[in-house]
Amino acid sequence: MALPKFYIILNAFFWGIVWIPLRYFNEQGVHPIYATFFCYLILVIIIVILKRSFFFLLFFREVGV
C-alpha cells in the first residue's frame, strides 16, 4: 500500500525539479515549448554521449528475418 504513495511523492518531486527551470526561462521571455524542447535535446545528447553502444544498436543493427 505504501508503494503508490511513494510514486505520487516521487512524481511531485520531479515535477518540482522540472517546474523551477521552466519558470525561470519563462521569466526570461523563453516560451515554455522552446525551453522544454531544448531541455529534452540536451538530455538526448547526454544519453547519446554516455551510451554510444545503445545508439549504435538502435540505428545500425542488422534485423533478423
Distance CA 5, CA 14 (A): 14
- Binning the chain into helix, strand and coil, the percentages to the nearest 5 are 85, 0, 15
Q: What is the pTM of this model?
A: 0.53
* Spatial contact of 7 and 20, defined as CB atoms under 8 Å apart: no
Task: Please write the tens of the pLDDT for every residue from 31-52.
Answer: 989 988 988 898 888 888 887 7
* Spatial contact of 22 and 36, defined as CB atoms under 8 Å apart: yes
| Residue 27: pLDDT band with limits 50, 70, 90 | very high
Q: What is the CA radius of gyration of the chain?
A: 18
